[in-house]
Amino acid sequence: MDIFQKCYDFTEAAEARTSGYYPYFQVVEGEADSEISIGGKKYVMLGSNNYLGLTTHPHVHELASAALEKFGPSCTGSRFLNGNFTIHEELEERLVKFIGKEAVLVFSTGFQTNLGTISAIAGRHDTVVIDKDDHASIYDGCKLSYGKVARFEHNDMDSLRKTLASIDTTTGGILVVTDGVFSMEGDITPLPEMVTLCKEFSARLMVDDAHASGVLGEHGEGTAAHFGLTDEVDLIMGTFSKSFASLGGFIAGDANVIDYIKHSARPFIFSAAMTPASVGAALGSLDVMETEPEHRKRLWATTHRMQAAYREMGFDVGASATPIIPIILGDEMLMFHFWRRLLEDGVFTNPVRPPATPPGRALLRTSYMASHTSEQMDFVLDAFKRIGAELGVIK
């Protein structure tokens, strides 16, 4: 059998394009902001992870440009060998102070951070315990580790307790990995209870703060800081592709553990280093997080307004407690109808279907930025109210 046969048999995308319900690979013309242009038409962007709106901040642009000018466009190799520049270590030192852990290691992408960290820490005789709604990079990190994997029901601490109690630790250890903020429905992991259970069962705890960095905590330090538990969480992971307006990722923890990961994580050792301009942008964003709290205040004001408005209209937004607000519709075709009607009316959302959500829980993922204006949110709410009534989702 030709190994390419599966490719020739794949018709789902072509059928969706023909029907007009293909939502992927939209070509954005220009900079990522609260308003974007696609095919010459303007849209209010509700599909971005640019929570603090820093992609257009002058200081972020300035530091990205300065890094490009000083260090060039590429490091031309892995940090393990020739690609370790002073700017990488500067970012790591800054993040040590910002996050509040002993050491930090910067990766080229957030996905690689989870792949590298989990596969370095967990071996064949160890068990990685993960939330069923954890990000795909966590699942893939488990696969790369060759360790055993156990899953618990989403944010269910009774399920976590039962899972931990069932693991034989005579030959290996346990690493519990959870998202801090879950990327599809915007709910927060019950970290205090999780910390207690990890201590009871002698498990180590890693929190993926991809969607919490810049959002939770007094200055955006993340989920552990939000709960006052930074010292109780063993590993804190974050990405630069969201609130940091850049590209890359980091892992923070005890110095000995980070040094081990640095010398063991294959996705780190065998990948080219984070580009200087990306590092510069991350440093610029970190400066803004530490000195301009008004961006977070504006983000949360918009978030609270939109959560309340959607609930008042009668939309199901689940347990969202962050700037990620799902509009849960259940039926996939209804979700795609709603997505297309919004797009026609100038509102860009992300349609989400299984396997990114459980079966029967298709949703429109909306997310909010500090740079969204009140006028833009008025426009969005009017569109949701009209189309929601038109499609029978709300009264």
Digit-coded pLDDT (tens) for 264-273: 999 999 999 9
- Residue 200: which pLDDT band, with cuts at 50, 70 and 90? very high
pLDDT of the residue at 109: 97
User: pLDDT of 292-336, one tens digit each?
Assistant: 999 999 999 999 999 999 999 999 999 999 999 999 999 999 999
User: pLDDT of 335-359, one tens digit each?
Assistant: 999 999 999 999 999 999 988 888 9
- Residue 165: which pLDDT band, with cuts at 50, 70 and 90? very high
pLDDT of the residue at 129: 98
Q: Which of 229, 227, 225, 228 is nearest to 214 (CA)?
A: 225
User: pLDDT of 170-198, one tens digit each?
Assistant: 999 999 999 999 999 999 999 999 999 99
Average pLDDT on 376-392 reads 97
Q: What phi and psi values does residue 83 have, to the nearest 5 degrees?
A: -100, 20
The mean pLDDT value of the chain amounts to 96
Residue listed under structure tokens 């156990």:
150
Asked whether the predicted pLDDT for residue 232 surpasses 90, the reply is yes
Domain ranges of the chain: 10-55+293-390, 58-291
Asked whether the predicted pLDDT for residue 395 surpasses 90, the reply is no
Fold observed for domain 10-55+293-390: Aspartate Aminotransferase, domain 1 (3.90.1150)
Average pLDDT on 358-369 reads 95
Q: 58-291 domain in CATH 1.10.167.10? A: no
Print burial letters for 366-378: b (CB count within 10 Å at least 16), e (below 16): bbbbbbbeeebbe
Give me the percent of the chain exceeding a pLDDT of 90.
96
Average pLDDT on 230-259 reads 98
CA distances (Å), origin 5, targets 2, 12, 16, 18: 5, 15, 20, 22
pLDDT of the residue at 177: 98
pLDDT of the residue at 187: 97
Average pLDDT on 152-158 reads 97
Give me the percent of the chain exceeding a pLDDT of 70.
100
pLDDT of the residue at 68: 98
Distance CA 206, CA 282 (A): 22
pLDDT of the residue at 358: 87
What does the DSSP assignment read for 186-244?
--B--HHHHHHHHHHTT-EEEEE-TTTTTTSSSSS--HHHHHT-GGG-SEEEEESSSTT
Average pLDDT on 10-38 reads 93
pTM, two decimal places:
0.96
Asked whether the predicted pLDDT for residue 276 surpasses 90, the reply is yes
User: pLDDT of 49-82, one tens digit each?
Assistant: 999 999 999 999 999 999 999 999 999 999 999 9
